[in-house]
Amino acid sequence: MHILFLSTLFPDVRRPTFGIHNANLVRRLATVSRVSVVAPRPRLSAFLARPGSSVAERCPEDTALAPIFPAVPYLPRIGSAVNHRLYARWLAPSVQRICRAQEPPGVLLAAWAYPDACAAVRLAGPLALPCVVITQGTDINDYLGYPLRRGVILRHLGRAAAVVARSEALRRRLVEAGLPEGRVQTIHNGVDTDFFRPAVDRQAVRRAAGLGPADVAVLFVGNFAPVKDPLLAVRAVAVLRERFPDQAWRLFMLGDGPLRTRVKTAAGALGGQVTLAGVCSPAQVLRFMQAADVLCVPSRNEGIPNVIREALACGLPVAATRVGGVPEVLTDPRTGELVEPGRPVLMADALARVVARGPQGGACRRQALAFSWDETVRRYSELFAVLATPPP
């Protein structure tokens, strides 16, 4: 089957980690199906551009996929009623061109509820193309809290052939919001357990990261945005340094975003014990996971963070907030601790308990192995096959 994938969240050569988890899914699907990728790039200047023109360069590893990156208009703040319509209008030439190919797509797969998936639903209708929407987390947990955007999302997702939630908690949220239960299913993302794995020589990896034998390394990986609450990680480590002055608590923060300045200021108060590593490649993330003692996930809401599954695959236990689908992954108490969001002292307690428990590499690795890419691809393939089969 030919799958047409549409989402802004897909990497290009300038931002090779942007939407990397969507890219990982698409690359896996491409091992069993033909896949075309349309990854819109929102910008005000698109009003002046010719619809369908590509404005970014693909990553070398996506040469076979040949993704295109059309510029599309996006009106921040005031555009909730029209952005999905603008996307659909500007993306129509690209989508129609793919649909006129010798082997037209059998399904349109769109990730991120608004505006991407809403635009995809509008495009799929006239083409008689079944549209499958992937909801990821913030696109539902946050966006359904805005009345205008909520209405747009629910109307369009209600017209989709199927809706995939990346966690069971997200699926329940969609059903409670009014989507038909039979139309929504949970398909977890997989994790590459061949790539994310424990270090052969962990001490050598720790030395390369600048860690001494007595250092306790806490790791944060994510966007420096309010929903990820990176400041809570800094405050929790500050609590630990005050509570255990004889222990060398170190915090490594991988990522960037709108809260960077505030994070940098808060980190500075800890006297150089916080390392802001910036946006890292998957290989760099792997090394930090292999070196760290515990992953801190302080998010205010989530689907299921891929970073948790990747950490577990490396044998790294987790202290995380009890939000979204996180409890669906941390089901074995040996793999981590769960606390309420927004509570630095509780997170500090959880981090301390995880570290005191000692290495739990075997339990963590076994938990990660339950999330295989083979199973994820099988579930999507079965769904597409059902949608492509005409009714009797």
pLDDT tens track for 6-18: 999 999 999 999 9
CATH for 202-369?
Answer: 3.40.50.2000
- Domain 2-190+372-388, CATH among 3.30.70.1140, 3.40.50.2000, 3.40.710.10, 3.40.50.300: 3.40.50.2000
Query: With bands split at pLDDT 50, 70 and 90, how would you rate the model's confidence at 50?
Result: confident
Measured distance CA(174)–CA(182) in Å, rounded: 11
Please, which pLDDT band fits residue 47 given cuts at 50, 70 and 90? confident
Sheet holding 107-111, edge to edge: 34-38, 2-6, 107-111, 131-135, 162-165, 184-186
Mean pLDDT for all residues in the chain = 94
Type and span of the H or E element at 28: helix 20-29
For the residues 155-172, what does the mean pLDDT come to?
A: 96
What do you get for the CA distance between the two ends of the chain, in Å? 20
Amino acid at 92: A
pLDDT of 101 = 82
pLDDT for 390: 62
Q: Is the pLDDT of residue 322 over 90?
A: yes
- Token pair belonging to 309: 């599954």
Q: How confident is the model at residue 240 (pLDDT cuts 50, 70, 90)?
A: very high
Token duo for residue 226: 């309010």
Confidence of residue 62 (pLDDT cuts 50, 70, 90): very high
Q: What pLDDT score was predicted for residue 19?
A: 93
Per-residue pLDDT at 114 exceeds 70: yes
CA distance 188 to 77: 31
Q: What angle do CA 217, 221, 224 make, to 5 degrees?
A: 120
Percent of the chain at pLDDT exceeding 70: 99
Q: Is the pLDDT of residue 139 over 80?
A: yes
Q: Tokens 């998957």 map to which residue?
A: 282
Q: What is the pLDDT of residue 381?
A: 96
Structural domain boundaries of the chain? 2-190+372-388, 202-369
pTM to 2 decimal places: 0.88
- Is the per-residue pLDDT at 391 higher than 70? no
Angle formed by the axes of helices 344-357 and 230-243, nearest 10°: 60
Q: Which residues of 339-365 are buried (b: 16+ CB within 10 A; e: fewer)?
A: bebebbebbbbbbbbbbeeeebbebbb
pLDDT class of 77 with cuts at 50, 70, 90: confident
pLDDT of amino acid 350: 97
